[in-house]
Amino acid sequence: MTFSVSSSSPQRESQKDKPSRTTRPRYSAFMSDDLATAAEWIRDAKAIVVVTGAGVSAESTIPTFRDAMEGLWAEFDPQTLATPEAFAADPEMVTRWYDMRRVKCAQAVPNAGHLALADIEKHVSSRGGTMTLLTQNVDGLHTAAGSKNVVELHGSLRVWRCTKTGQEVTPGPEPFEEFPPMSEAGAPLRPSVVWFGEMLSEGALETAFAASGSCDLFMSVGTSAVVYPAAGFVELAKRAGARTFEVNKDQTPTSGIVDLTFRGRSGEILPELVTRAFG
Ligand code: BJW
């Protein structure tokens, strides 16, 4: 296991990419203290909010959003493809990209990070508390891992909808045969995800703002924290007095806001926190 923790100390950042010579955890006693602190926060919390991003699913072999451009797609910018304008200009290309990702997601299974978050929810609920999992991911893996109170902020890649009637369908796991795929009403189907410039669902927004503004612990996990409104929830929680921490392989804009940053893989750090919190 190779991870480090920082409470906004730049020196500790420099340990980030050092190779580990042994299988022993690399964190020092001080770092271990921070893990113990975060575990205590989890154990004590009555209302937890977690915002997750593509990094949580990276260990389930799903490329992160900004790394999703492999092979034939390497020359494209994901931020340009994930727009209504790109779909209008070239529905074939955009739906081919989404279908490739859809099929990959259908084959993926939850990893230790997803399972740890589901575990935390179970423990918190059993003590009468709440946990709200705000995910930017469209892969459905949190629900597959057993998380119950999941808000899919950016929609779902499993669900597609008719661009004429709005009717939703859940296609089988095999690749589409035509691009764009057509609905029963004879119009192109599009993935039921939220593209740049589109509004998140009103219900998702209401839940996310209310939960972030009233939680006592906020965790940001595996997100580059550059896409709004999701990137803003941590500040809302912090202003409302919540304890905050981040789990990410790399530094993000959130790193400078939170009380603690754990630098490493969510599939390693989250299970470690669960073990320390609940045994
Ligand atoms: C690991 C790891 C491991 C790797 N362990 N970590 C305020 C200010 C400025 C702009 C705006 C604003 N409010 C709204 C906007 C506009 C826009 C926006 O935010 N633009 C920014 C780019 C500046 N937002 C919107 O348009 C939103 N709509 C909206 O607000 O409507 C009203 C409005 C419109 C216009 C103007 C103003 C208001 C909609 C946003 C929808 C985003 N949709 C996407 C696509 C979904 C479908 C799809 O998947 O294709 O959602 S974009 C993309 O980014 C996707 C992701 O959910 C999202 C976040 O990415 P994420 O998950 O963080 O992934 P990565 O790849 O970026 O990062 C992975 C991270 O994991 C990295 O940090 C790694 O280090 C880490 N990692 N392995 C732990 N093992």
Pocket test for ligand 1, best of 65, 97, 251 (most atoms within 8 A of CB): 65
pTM over 0.85: yes
Domain boundaries, the chain: 27-62+111-154+200-279, 64-107+159-193
Cis peptide before 253 (omega within 30 of 0): no
Supply angle C-alpha 226, 16, 225, rounded to 5. Answer: 10
- Class of 64-107+159-193 in CATH: alpha beta
> Over the stretch 132-177, which tens digit does the pLDDT of each residue have?
999 999 999 999 999 999 999 999 999 999 999 999 999 999 999 9
Ligand 1 contact, 220 CB (< 6 A): no
More confident position, 271 or 27: 271
* CA 274 to ligand 1 centroid distance, Å: 27
Q: Are 147 and 133 in contact (CB under 8 A)?
A: yes
Ligand 1 contact, 29 CB (< 6 A): no
> Over the stretch 82-110, which tens digit does the pLDDT of each residue have?
999 999 999 999 999 999 999 999 999 99
Closest alpha carbon to 237 in 209, 206, 201: 209
State how far the Cα of 203 lies from the Cα of 193, in Å rounded to an integer.
Answer: 15
**Extended strands (E) in the chain:** 4-6, 47-52, 130-135, 150-152, 155-162, 168-169, 189-193, 217-221, 243-248, 260-263
> Over the stretch 27-75, which tens digit does the pLDDT of each residue have?
455 577 899 999 999 999 999 999 999 999 999 999 899 886 766 677 7
* CA 237 to ligand 1 centroid distance, Å: 19
35's tokens: 């893990």
Within 10 angstroms of residue 106's Cβ, the number of other Cβ atoms is 16
Pocket test for ligand 1, best of 16, 70, 134, 196 (most atoms within 8 A of CB): 196
Which residue's alpha carbon is at the smallest distance from atom 47 of ligand 1? 193
What CATH number is given for 27-62+111-154+200-279 in this structure? 3.40.50.1220
Active-site residues, by number, are 154
Q: Are 244 and 234 in contact (CB under 8 A)?
A: yes
Query: What is the DSSP secondary structure assignment for residue 71, as one 8-state letter?
Result: G
Within 10 angstroms of residue 238's Cβ, the number of other Cβ atoms is 16
Q: Do domains 27-62+111-154+200-279 and 64-107+159-193 have the same CATH topology?
A: no
Return all residues near 213 (Cβ < 8 A) that are at least 6 apart: 236, 237, 240
Structure confidence at residue 31 (pLDDT): 72
Atom of ligand 1 nearest to the CA of 78: 50
65's tokens: 């959003």
* CA 225 to ligand 1 centroid distance, Å: 7
In the chain, the amino acid numbered 3 is: F
Which residue's alpha carbon is at the smallest distance from atom 80 of ligand 1? 265
On the 0-12 / 13-18 / 19+ scale of CB atoms within 10 A, 80 is exposed
Q: Are 98 and 189 in contact (CB under 8 A)?
A: no
